[in-house]
Chain A
Amino acid sequence: MTPAAPPSRPEVVTPAGVIYDIGYQRYDGPRLGRGAVVRALYGSSLRSAFGIGRGGRAKIVPFGLFALAMLPSLIAVGVAALLNEAVEIFTYDNYLWELRLVFALFVAAQAPELVGRDQQHRVLTLYFSRALERADYVAAKVAAMVTALFLIMAVPLVTLLIGTVLGAEDVLSALGDELRELPGVVGNSLLHAILLAAMGLAVASYTPRRAYATGGIIALFLILGVVAGLVGELAEEGGWRYVVLLSPFALVDGVRRWAFGGRVAESPVDFDLVPGAAHLLVYLLVVAALGALVAWRYRRLQA
Chain B
Amino acid sequence: MRGVSLVETEHLTKRYGSSVTALDDLTVTIEPGVIGLLGSNGAGKSTLIRILLGLLEPTSGRALVMDLDAATQGSEIRARVGYLPEHDCLPPDVSATDFVTHMGRMSGLPAGAARERAAEVLRHVGLFEERYRSIGGYSTGMKQRVKLAQALVHDPRLLLLDEPTNGLDPAGRDDMLDLVRRTGTEFGIAVIVSSHLLGEIERVCDGIVAVEGGRLLRADTLSSFTGRTRVLVVEVEEGHAALAEELGRRGLRVGLEARLVLVDAPDGAPHDVIRDAVVDLDLALVRLEQRRGTLEDLFRPTRPEAAGAV
Judging by beta carbons under 8 Å apart, are A127 and B117 in contact? no
CB contacts (< 8 Å) of A3 on chain B: these are 186
Of B78-86, B170-178, B215-223, B284-292, which binds chain A? B78-86
Judging by beta carbons under 8 Å apart, are B85 and A131 in contact? no
Residues of A246-280 at the interface with B, using a CB-CB cut-off of 8 Å, are none
Query: Which secondary structure dominates chain A's binding surface?
Result: loop
Judging by beta carbons under 8 Å apart, are A121 and B109 in contact? no
| Cα of A30 to Cα of B109 in the assembled complex, Å | 7
| Cα of A23 to Cα of B125 in the assembled complex, Å | 9
The answer to the question of A64 belonging to the interface, with a C-beta cut-off of 8 Å to chain B, is no
CB contacts (< 8 Å) of B152 on chain A: these are 24
The answer to the question of B277 belonging to the interface, with a C-beta cut-off of 8 Å to chain A, is no
The answer to the question of A89 belonging to the interface, with a C-beta cut-off of 8 Å to chain B, is no
The answer to the question of A18 belonging to the interface, with a C-beta cut-off of 8 Å to chain B, is no
Nearest Cβ on chain B to A225's Cβ, whole angstroms: 33
Judging by beta carbons under 8 Å apart, are B89 and A126 in contact? yes
CB contacts (< 8 Å) of B182 on chain A: these are 23-24
Judging by beta carbons under 8 Å apart, are A32 and B92 in contact? no
Judging by beta carbons under 8 Å apart, are B108 and A126 in contact? no
The answer to the question of B202 belonging to the interface, with a C-beta cut-off of 8 Å to chain A, is no
Residues of A99-113 at the interface with B, using a CB-CB cut-off of 8 Å, are none
A24-B152, A122-B87 known; A33-B108 Cβ under 8 A = yes
Judging by beta carbons under 8 Å apart, are A126 and B93 in contact? no
The answer to the question of B107 belonging to the interface, with a C-beta cut-off of 8 Å to chain A, is yes
CB contacts (< 8 Å) of A130 on chain B: these are 78-79, 103, 106-107, 154
CB closest residue in chain B, given A48? B94
Q: Count A-side interface residues using an 8 Å CB cutoff.
A: 35
Residues of B80-115 at the interface with A, using a CB-CB cut-off of 8 Å, are 81, 83, 85, 87-94, 98, 102-103, 105-111, 113
Nearest Cβ on chain B to A53's Cβ, whole angstroms: 7
| Cα of A9 to Cα of B4 in the assembled complex, Å | 42
Greatest chain A CB density within 10 A among B79, B89, B111, B154 is at B89
The answer to the question of A54 belonging to the interface, with a C-beta cut-off of 8 Å to chain B, is yes
Judging by beta carbons under 8 Å apart, are A55 and B93 in contact? yes
Q: Count B-side interface residues using an 8 Å CB cutoff.
A: 42
CB contacts (< 8 Å) of A36 on chain B: these are 108, 110
Judging by beta carbons under 8 Å apart, are A40 and B105 in contact? yes
The answer to the question of B297 belonging to the interface, with a C-beta cut-off of 8 Å to chain A, is no
A40-B105, A125-B85 known; A27-B90 Cβ under 8 A = no
The answer to the question of B27 belonging to the interface, with a C-beta cut-off of 8 Å to chain A, is no
The answer to the question of A29 belonging to the interface, with a C-beta cut-off of 8 Å to chain B, is yes
| Cα of A33 to Cα of B109 in the assembled complex, Å | 9
CB contacts (< 8 Å) of A26 on chain B: these are 155, 187
Judging by beta carbons under 8 Å apart, are A30 and B106 in contact? no
Nearest Cβ on chain A to B104's Cβ, whole angstroms: 9
A24-B124, A129-B55 known; A29-B113 Cβ under 8 A = yes
Residues in B lying within 8 Å of A, measured CB to CB: 50, 53, 55, 75-76, 78-79, 81, 83, 85, 87-94, 98, 102-103, 105-111, 113, 117, 120-121, 124, 134, 150, 152, 154-155, 182-183, 186-187
The 26 sampled A-B contact pairs (Cβ below 8 Å) are: A3-B186, A23-B186, A24-B152, A24-B182, A24-B183, A26-B155, A27-B117, A30-B113, A31-B109, A32-B110, A37-B105, A40-B105, A55-B134, A117-B91, A121-B88, A121-B92, A122-B85, A122-B89, A125-B83, A126-B85, A128-B55, A129-B55, A129-B81, A130-B107, A131-B108, A132-B75
Q: Which 4 A-B pairs have the closest CB atoms?
A: A27-B155, A131-B79, A129-B83, A40-B105
